[in-house]
Chains A and B, each alone.
Chain A
């Protein structure tokens, strides 16, 4: 009985007992959830447009952050460094289209996936060769300190990151859902040949989505880099995007957003209220367990296209 109470009732009593603290936890969850959504969006865009699961997305985050910090360390002023990094990521998109996607057009998805694994190692090596492998500090000039707003304790850095992510996510969502580019994207994802026949320039679309994924990677790299330093582990945050994708569906932009928020909030709530029962560290595995449950009961995710099998 006591155990049941501790699992099913105790945590909710705690929440009701300290509503302000609950709000703080929720805001923390939303903040990290938005960052997950941002990384997941990078995957979704590329997956939609080229049917490729881009294994190199995480390394693109690392590469973008390394480039930015590297330029800053060499005394390039911040706005210029940011602009240059954007250019580098766009150049990368052109190179990927020309050297990886174009020669492999109409190949099996698994072959393209393997190609992105190659890309992953290439970018990792290139980044470390050019910019060095040591941990770098990324200082945005926003202090990592807290302030009180309406009685709720908030972190400045976290709030800035969350606000930026929210704006980016909103812009991307509208851009790709509401515009004819969105329809062109879905068309390209569905059938390359047919898309060409109705006048969609495949190569342009690919360069566009990889560029956008590159810019998303810069944003994610800056936010995570400012929090925990620019280092190899940045490329692992892409792993956190996997459960988000499984939750939201690989082809759904709203899915990536909602999935990210669910996982962000879920793991924070779990950690704070249920963590003590199992000795903590729920935050590290919560997302993956949730993803497993989804795979069992709703493999297409919350918003993904239904998997229809004809018998």
Chain B
């Protein structure tokens, strides 16, 4: 981990849905420029953790600091405006809109100015739209989706939808990017592409990334650090190699004999 204060600091958060304890006192620091993988068996609370960070759920206990300031009770759109972008496990694209428009929506927060100017499609408003359009085209090139720019997102195969969702998140120029199973349901080739994109995003834009993933070879290749959740608790946190050798992690994945 690099020195100085972490970009994101999750401190002892607990979330419950009725009687189900989804997260129990989980802490996690993410340093600027890191790629952190969050792994764990099904139902371990990985997605809940991501939802808490992005403001969809609020913990009943604990706090979240982003860039050193308390961000525990922000709502999703406020979290987005702080520079945290995310993708969803089950792809949440705007299915009726073209790929280009989907990615443009990622720029909404970057757009400023009066509605009247917008309406008149005049002067600064027009220039602004064109600037954003140029930025979006760069992302489209970057993720190699030029060929499908005009296609409605709902008609794309699943693998490409995931890529478009990543593009929309990138369009917001996030400081912290949260990816919920970016490679779920992909074939080997698509997974390799996605791996490359994640590493390129990290390398070219310096984006800090937290991702949930099940594919262990991917996790080991991509991440600087791995945090393991089981039954709502963090049971391990360290380099990929250290985590792989951790007996508690083996137990969580392979089951443990309770005598």
Contact = CB atoms under 8 A, between A and B. Distances in A.
Interface of A: 171, 174-175, 178-181, 183-184, 186-187, 190-191, 193-202, 251, 305, 308
Contacts, number: 86
A194 B97 CA distance: 13
A191 B115 contact: no
Contacts of A196: 56, 75-77, 80
Given A174-B119, A184-B105, A308-B155, A197 B93 contact: no
A175 B172 CA distance: 24
Given A190-B96, A191-B94, A199-B81, A183 B108 contact: yes
B188 to A, nearest CB: 25
Given A178-B118, A194-B93, A199 B54 contact: no
Interface stretch (B58-66, B84-92, B196-204, B208-216): B84-92
Nearest to A251: B96
Nearest to A182: B118
16 contacts: A180-B108, A183-B101, A187-B97, A190-B93, A191-B95, A194-B92, A194-B94, A197-B80, A197-B85, A198-B80, A198-B105, A198-B168, A198-B172, A199-B77, A201-B77, A308-B155
B154 interface: yes
A193 B169 CA distance: 13
Interface in B45-75: 54, 56, 75
B186 interface: no
Contact of B94 (A175, A179, A181, A187): A187
Given A179-B115, A186-B97, A193-B56, A199 B80 contact: yes
A202 B56 CA distance: 13
A221 B76 CA distance: 38
B104 interface: yes
Nearest to B110: A199
Contacts of B85: 197-198
A191 to B, nearest CB: 5
B206 to A, nearest CB: 21
A194 B154 CA distance: 14
Contacts of A200: 77, 105, 108
Interface in B93-146: 93-97, 101, 104-106, 108-109, 111, 115, 118-121
B108 A198 contact: yes
Interface of B: 54, 56, 75-77, 80-81, 85-86, 88, 92-97, 101, 104-106, 108-109, 111, 115, 118-121, 152, 154-155, 168-169, 172
**B76, B86, B95, B172: most-surrounded residue (chain A CB, <10 A):** B76
Nearest to A184: B108
Given A178-B121, A199-B77, A199-B80, A194 B88 contact: yes
B173 to A, nearest CB: 12
A179 B88 contact: no
A175 B119 CA distance: 5
B86 to A, nearest CB: 5
B210 to A, nearest CB: 14
A178 B119 contact: yes
B118 A197 contact: no
Contacts of B77: 196, 199-202
B254 to A, nearest CB: 34
A208 to B, nearest CB: 10
Nearest to B155: A308
A176 to B, nearest CB: 9
A58 B176 CA distance: 46
Nearest to A305: B96
A197 B92 contact: yes
Contact of B119 (A179, A183, A194): A179
A175 B115 contact: yes
Contact of A191 (B54, B75, B93, B155): B93
A308 B94 contact: no
Contacts of B106: 198
A198 B166 CA distance: 12
A183 B54 CA distance: 22
Contacts of B172: 198-199
Most buried by B among A174, A198, A251, A308: A198
A152 B89 CA distance: 64
